[in-house]
Amino acid sequence: STNTSSPSYLNHARHFLSLKLTTKNYLLWKTQLVQFLRGQKLLGFVDCSNPCPPLTITVDDHTNPQSNPVAIAWQDQDQLIRSLLISSLSESVIPIVVGLSL
């Protein structure tokens, strides 16, 4: 299991993260974000303790690998979390992170 939060819940999570990251409030922002993600059992996506499963799997001893549905679900959840993180940035911080590889 990759998480316990439904995608629709994460779409509304922005309302629970009232503090946006600026260049002066990192510790406060991080405290808010980490507690929220930990409570939703999603912190592993951010701290790398829940890495992406293999993208392909072999089923019934077939030699052709198939897409791993667990990896697809993990990637979907990861994208929602990335969206949540971006929405928690102030307008002054967004230009700093644009173009960073995640």
Tell me whether residue 61 is in a domain.
Answer: yes
pLDDT in tens, 2-32: 455 555 566 666 667 889 999 999 999 999 9
Residue 44 lies in a domain: yes
Residue 67 lies in a domain: yes
Q: How many domains does the chain have?
A: 1
- Establish if 1 belongs to a structural domain: no
User: Is 2 within a domain?
Assistant: no
The answer as to whether 23 is a domain residue is: yes
Give CA–CA dist 97/10, Å, rounded: 21
In a domain, 3, yes or no: no
Render pLDDT for 77-90 as a digit per residue (tens, 0 to 9): 999 999 899 989 99
pTM of the entire predicted model? 0.79
Domain that holds residue 21: 8-99
